């Protein structure tokens, strides 16, 4: 019998993240806690964890590279040190972020997106103390943010979707020995996960957080917890329905989960709730066999769904709602651009020489 006190995936995740954030805050200057307390109502715990890591990099940079702070320990910093920093120091920090070593001596690199995120975290940090008149100047505002260039959105074409699903269903027929046994053991689960991602556009974090009771076959919907904690029902079609039932009534039914994982919809081979990293690795493993020239991740499956839904409906607001985007402009940027077919037409539209 399952423990009635077993916490849901999201309840346990919140507890784990809260404890993790507290540990990270111990590695920041004491005054930093004021900022994190203030942004709590507008941010998720996971976002605050990211901010804490990013801001910690800034103070480590100062201790490593700024002569004034070379002898400092992190707990010696005061809020007044923030306004002693000049814009040139922050420009040097931005350059430092491109390649640096973290406290574990692991080399970290940041391209445009990573630079922008870390600089945004620093600006937000400075902005809080400046807004509350704790500091009298804000040098972070005087430094230009990194320019973000648009990148081509990678997604699967219709034929590639079919090839991927066919490979997961039948690709193990040529396997032998232990590899074949593993394929047969995980095939129904893997197929259900990938077709669910392709057929609903849910995030991988939302997928691994699903419990069995979140699936409603009467209405063909799943209850997901979106970013920010909002619950939403996302509906699926017959292909997803058949794959979920096949998995639930065969593979999942035959597994006795470990304690605390009884309600999880998708289980790992260790009989625990499957994790985000495991799903990412699984998607990459299958995609490499079908589309070796495209770097396919669970997020690319989400892009594939969003693109297909927009092409079928032309309703950008529906796409935004189903994908759980808070800002429809995010959706427009990704899915309402000139599609590839129209772009291909442009190739033959201009004649360079008369025949």
pLDDT in tens, 139-170: 999 999 988 887 777 899 999 999 999 999 98
Whether the per-residue pLDDT at 4 is higher than 50: the answer is no
Whether the per-residue pLDDT at 124 is higher than 70: the answer is yes
Residues 107 and 233 in one domain: no
**Alpha carbon distances (Å) from 114 to 17, 19, 147, 169:** 21, 25, 11, 37
pLDDT in tens, 183-219: 999 999 999 999 999 999 999 999 999 999 999 999 9
pLDDT in tens, 7-51: 788 888 889 999 999 999 999 999 999 999 999 998 889 999 999
Q: Are 97 and 57 in contact (CB under 8 A)?
A: yes
* Residue 42 located in a structural domain: yes
What is the β-pairing status of strands 221-225 and 231-235?
Answer: antiparallel
Question: How many domains does the chain contain in total?
Answer: 2
Whether the per-residue pLDDT at 1 is higher than 50: the answer is no
* Residue 149 located in a structural domain: no
pLDDT in tens, 49-80: 999 999 999 999 999 999 999 999 999 999 99
Within 10 angstroms of residue 329's Cβ, the number of other Cβ atoms is 12
* Residue 166 located in a structural domain: yes
Secondary structure class of 140 (helix, strand, coil) = helix
* Residue 203 located in a structural domain: yes
* Residue 153 located in a structural domain: no
The beta strand positions in the chain, using DSSP E, are 99-101, 107-109, 215-216, 221-225, 231-235
* Residue 148 located in a structural domain: no
* Residue 343 located in a structural domain: no
Where residue 176 sits, what CATH number does that domain have? 1.10.443.10
Residues 181 and 137 in one domain: no
Residues 136 and 40 in one domain: yes
* Residue 353 located in a structural domain: no
Residue 92 lies in domain: 9-142
Q: Are 149 and 138 in contact (CB under 8 A)?
A: no
Give the span between the Cα atoms of 198 and 183, in whole angstroms. 21
Give the span between the Cα atoms of 218 and 226, in whole angstroms. 22
Residues 221 and 122 in one domain: no
Give the span between the Cα atoms of 331 and 311, in whole angstroms. 13
Residues 169 and 286 in one domain: yes
Q: Which residues are bridge partners to 231 per DSSP?
A: 225
Chain mean pLDDT for the chain: 90
């Amino acid at each position: 019998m399952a423990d009635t006190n077993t916490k849901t995936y999201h309840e346990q995740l919140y507890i784990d993240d809260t404890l993790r954030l507290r540990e990270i805050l111990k590695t920041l200057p004491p005054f930093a806690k004021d900022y994190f307390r203030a942004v709590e109502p507008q941010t998720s715990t996971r976002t605050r964890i990211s901010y804490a890591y990013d801001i910690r990099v800034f103070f480590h940079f100062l201790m490593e590279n700024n002569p004034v702070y070379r002898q400092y320990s992190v707990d010696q910093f005061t809020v007044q040190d923030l306004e002693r920093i000049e814009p040139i120091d922050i420009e040097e920090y931005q350059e430092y972020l491109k390649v640096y070593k973290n406290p574990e001596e692991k080399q970290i690199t940041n391209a445009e997106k990573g630079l922008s995120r870390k600089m945004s975290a620093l600006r937000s940090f400075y902005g809080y103390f400046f807004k509350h008149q704790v500091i009298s100047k804000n040098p972070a505002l005087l430094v230009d943010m990194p320019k973000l260039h648009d990148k081509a959105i990678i997604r699967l074409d219709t034929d590639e979707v079919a090839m991927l699903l066919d490979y997961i269903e039948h690709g193990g027929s040529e396997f032998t020995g232990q590899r074949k046994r593993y394929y047969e053991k995980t095939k129904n689960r893997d197929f259900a996960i990938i077709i669910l991602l392709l057929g609903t556009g849910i995030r991988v974090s939302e997928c691994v957080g699903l419990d069995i009771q979140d699936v409603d076959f009467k209405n063909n919907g799943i209850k997901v917890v979106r970013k920010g904690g909002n619950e939403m029902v996302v509906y699926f079609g017959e292909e997803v329905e058949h794959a979920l039932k096949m998995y639930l009534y065969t593979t999942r039914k035959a597994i006795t989960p470990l304690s605390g994982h009884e309600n999880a919809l998708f289980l790992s081979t260790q009989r625990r709730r499957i994790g985000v990293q495991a799903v990412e690795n699984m998607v990459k493993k299958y995609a490499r066999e079908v589309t070796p020239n495209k770097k396919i991740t669970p997020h690319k499956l989400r892009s594939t769904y969003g693109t297909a839904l927009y092409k079928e409906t032309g309703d950008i607001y529906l796409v935004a709602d189903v994908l759980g985007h808070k800002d429809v402009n995010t959706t427009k940027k990704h899915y309402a651009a000139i599609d590839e077919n129209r772009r291909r037409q442009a190739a033959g539209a201009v004649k360079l020489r008369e025949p």
